[in-house]
């Protein structure tokens, strides 16, 4: 879409009837919220029909902190670089290929090898976690989601598949970096012994109910308890005890070969799309990725992995109690009763929303390092205003031997099949899921689902449903869950829509935003999200180009008369998605992961759309983590 078309769309005046429709929606939503949140919100809903700001109608958040987002909004568009509001600055913290230690090899795109890559920051940064060490020191925990050989290697090298594959596996996984702040600016401390690369080959412990099960045993590992590497690391979380959770998402792409005919994993692998079909050919060089050689190896991926970033000698643990699927993220919250709850999306069209509740309470004085090995995994079934969280517990309901589940390990290794059996609600690609605050609020990013259909003969997986009501759902939506009385362990919750994404001025989109939304404040394809230290929601996108504008980061109002109002804060360079929004605890720094800048299906190393972030003619664009500050210092977004 050209600029003129974009301007045309964004300047369309909203019609009176559309405005009334939106106001009616907001009124309805606010009055429903009144029921959800009790007396305080009831007073809010009573004032809602006027949709005006008055002392009585101010939301909880406005009353508490007196501010919402006050930065000057940036404009929609798309070009070769990134944009922040007036008064803000950005710095590149680290890029793909930068050495993580002083002694590491400098990036040279013509010299990339597996051994160099193992000492350098990985490719396609996604989730960012931050663990505070002291006021001016912290550990940055960064996922590297996937590799793309065509954009990483010059044409002359791409034929050397052995080199490409060996380098790719070391560009995957995660990075732990100690960062330090001087004069208000963060940098990587390349002298820190904590700096660490975790790759697709790093030794891991398989932990929890599926550890040691026969379906976890491979020719390389007769114990079923030791595996190599983590892959498809998308979003994640940080635990209350300061460890890093990295979520394994699209693990199917790395496997090749056909299962032996009639193999017992046939149905399980098919449900996870194993083997993938993107031609990586890893199985040619690493037999464990060949289903003919190691049919159980895929069962050792698709988990949430816990890493202790403070101990560079620690062995990451795959926590099987939290299930196996295409894990998008793993954001944690401690419930009032001390139990830790982890919210997780399974990012596939028609897959599910999960939460895990620890069996034991978290004791800050005496933390159990293996707390996440014991607990109950639940999957969500959405009713009109209620969610039933269905336990994935062996022996309960249909999860029995008669249906192919002989143990809890079976339930977990085949989580998707178990959730199918329970009748979970098929969702429009659940991405990041963010719990926040003591009111039990949880925001769920649903990025899109081209398969969603209102046809009478649509399959249950694809048919529109209460929580996913838009056919095709090109633009995605955001759901808000309210756990009763702030009890995140509840097995019955309430829910509502926060927004339905897309252009509010285009009736064909079916978008629903706050009626005061600007032409820059709406977006599509919500993916990652974060809350800042004030509890305010921020959303980054992956796929906003469907609307003709670059991906970015938006602030999102969630309370009072501004609820449903997006505000554009950051615009990515063309081709990039924005991941890992992460604020420092003082709110004065925002880290963003800019993933796959300048590339799409049609680009390669020689033909990127931009050479962000350094614009060197002899360098490809490089995924990078950036830090954003206020020029004069202060809290981001205010
Ligand atoms: Fe890796 Fe679902 O994004
Ligand atoms: Ca994602
Ligand atoms: Ca997040
Ligand atoms: Ca993404």
What percentage of the chain reaches a pLDDT higher than 70?
A: 89
Question: What is the rounded CA–CA span in Å between residue 16 and residue 468?
Answer: 27
Residues with CB under 5 A from ligand 3 (ion): 432, 530
What three-state secondary structure class fits 561? helix
CA of 328 to the centre of ligand 3 (A): 10
Interval 79-97 mean pLDDT: 98
Q: Which atom of ligand 1 is nearest to the CA of 250?
A: 1
Taken as a whole, the chain contains a residue count of: 638
Ligand nearest to the CA of 623: 4
CA of 345 to the centre of ligand 4 (A): 13
Residue 29 has pLDDT above 60, yes or no: no
CA of 431 to the centre of ligand 1 (A): 6
Residue 240 has pLDDT above 60, yes or no: yes
CA of 70 to the centre of ligand 2 (A): 27
Q: Which atom of ligand 1 is nearest to the CA of 345?
A: 2
Ligand nearest to the CA of 326: 1
**Global pTM?**
0.91
Please give the pLDDT value at position 43: 27
Ligand nearest to the CA of 232: 1
Residue nearest to atom 1 of ligand 1 (CA): 234
Ligand 1 surroundings by CB, under 6 angstroms? 145, 234, 249, 328, 347, 431, 527
Q: In this predicted model, what pLDDT tens digit does every residue of 265-292 receive, in sequence order?
A: 999 999 999 999 778 899 999 999 999 9
353 — pLDDT class (breaks 50, 70, 90): very high
Q: Which atom of ligand 1 is nearest to the CA of 145?
A: 1
Mean pLDDT of the chain: 91
- Nearest CA to 99 out of 76, 78, 117 is that of 117
Question: What is the rounded CA–CA span in Å between residue 94 and residue 121?
Answer: 7
DSSP string, 275-336: SP-S---GGGT-GGGBTTT-TTGGGGSSSEEEE-TT-TTPPPEEEGGG--S-B---EEEE-T
Contact indicator for 320, 332 with CB cutoff of 8 Å: no
Residue 174 has pLDDT above 80, yes or no: yes
Contact indicator for 433, 345 with CB cutoff of 8 Å: yes
Structure tokens at 448: 């899109």
CA of 245 to the centre of ligand 3 (A): 11
Please give the pLDDT value at position 456: 97
Residue 1 has pLDDT above 50, yes or no: no
Residue 24 has pLDDT above 50, yes or no: no
Which residue bears the tokens 């600029």?
3
CA of 433 to the centre of ligand 4 (A): 13
Ligand nearest to the CA of 249: 1
Q: Which atom of ligand 1 is nearest to the CA of 249?
A: 1
Q: In this predicted model, what pLDDT tens digit does every residue of 33-61 receive, in sequence order?
A: 333 332 222 222 222 222 233 333 344 44
Q: In the chain, what are the domain boundaries?
A: 33-249+302-630, 253-298
DSSP string, 205-262: EEESTTTT-GGG-BTTBTTSSEEE----EEEEEE-TTS-EEEEE--GGGG-BSPPPTT
Please give the pLDDT value at position 387: 98
């Amino acid at each position: 879409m050209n600029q003129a078309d974009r301007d045309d769309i964004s300047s369309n005046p909203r019609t009176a009837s559309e405005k009334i429709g939106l106001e009616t929606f907001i009124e309805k939503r606010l009055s429903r919220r009144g029921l959800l949140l009790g007396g305080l919100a009831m007073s809010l809903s009573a004032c809602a029909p006027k949709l005006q700001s008055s002392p009585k109608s101010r939301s909880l958040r406005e009353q508490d902190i007196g501010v919402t987002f006050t930065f000057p909004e940036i404009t929609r568009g798309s070009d070769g670089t990134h944009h922040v509001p007036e008064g803000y600055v950005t710095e590149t913290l680290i890029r793909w290929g930068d050495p993580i230690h002083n002694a590491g090899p400098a990036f040279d795109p013509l010299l990339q090898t597996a051994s160099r890559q193992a000492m350098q920051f990985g490719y396609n940064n996604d989730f960012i976690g931050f663990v505070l060490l002291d006021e001016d020191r912290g550990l940055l925990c960064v996922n590297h989601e996937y590799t793309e050989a065509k954009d990483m290697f010059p044409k002359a090298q791409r034929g050397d598949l052995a080199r490409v594959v060996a380098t790719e596996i070391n560009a995957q996984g995660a990075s732990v970096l100690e960062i330090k702040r001087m004069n208000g600016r963060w940098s990587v401390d390349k002298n820190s012994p904590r700096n660490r690369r975790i790759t697709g080959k790093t030794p891991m412990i398989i932990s929890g109910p599926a550890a040691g099960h026969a379906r976890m045993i491979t020719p390389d590992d007769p114990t079923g308890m030791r595996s190599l590497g983590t892959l498809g690391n998308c979003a994640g979380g940080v635990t209350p005890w300061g460890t890093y959770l990295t979520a394994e998402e699209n693990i199917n792409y790395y496997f090749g070969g056909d299962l032996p005919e009639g193999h017992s994993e046939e149905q399980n692998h098919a449900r996870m799309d194993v083997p993938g079909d993107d031609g990586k050919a890893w199985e040619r060089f690493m037999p464990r990725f060949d289903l003919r050689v190691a049919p159980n190896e895929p069962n050792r991926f698709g988990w949430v992995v816990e890493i202790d970033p403070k101990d560079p000698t620690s062995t990451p643990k795959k926590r099987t109690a939290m299930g196996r699927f295409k894990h998008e993220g793993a954001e944690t919250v401690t419930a009032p009763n001390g139990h830790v709850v982890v919210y997780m999306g399974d990012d596939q069209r028609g897959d599910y929303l999960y939460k895990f509740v620890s069996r034991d309470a978290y004791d800050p004085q005496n933390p159990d390092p293996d707390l996440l090995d014991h607990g109950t995994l639940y999957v969500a079934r959405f009713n009109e205003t209620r969610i039933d969280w269905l336990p994935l517990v062996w022996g309960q309901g249909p999860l029995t031997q008669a249906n192919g589940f002989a143990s809890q390990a079976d339930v977990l290794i085949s989580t998707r099949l178990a959730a199918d059996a329970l009748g979970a609600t098929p969702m429009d690609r659940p991405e990041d899921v963010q719990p926040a605050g003591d009111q039990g609020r949880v925001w769920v990013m649903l990025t899109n689902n081209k398969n969603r259909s209102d046809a009478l003969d649509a399959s249950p997986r694809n048919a529109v449903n209460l929580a996913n009501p838009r056919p095709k759902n090109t633009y995605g939506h955001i759901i808000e869950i309210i756990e009763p009385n702030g009890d995140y362990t509840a097995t019955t919750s309430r829910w509502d829509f926060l927004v339905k994404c897309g252009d509010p001025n285009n009736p064909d989109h079916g978008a629903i935003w706050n009626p005061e939304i600007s032409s820059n404040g709406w977006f599509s394809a919500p993916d990652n999200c974060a809350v800042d230290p004030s509890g305010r929601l921020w959303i980054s996108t992956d796929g906003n180009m469907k609307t003709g504008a670059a991906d970015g980061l938006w602030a999102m109002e969630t309370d009072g008369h501004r609820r449903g109002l997006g505000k554009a804060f950051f615009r990515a360079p063309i081709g990039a998605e924005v991941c890992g929004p992460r604020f420092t605890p003082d709110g004065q720094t925002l880290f963003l992961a800019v993933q796959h800048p300048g590339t799409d299906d049609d680009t390669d190393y020689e033909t990127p759309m931009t050479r962000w972030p350094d614009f060197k003619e002899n360098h490809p664009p490089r995924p990078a983590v950036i830090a954003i500050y206020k020029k004069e210092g202060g809290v981001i977004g205010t």
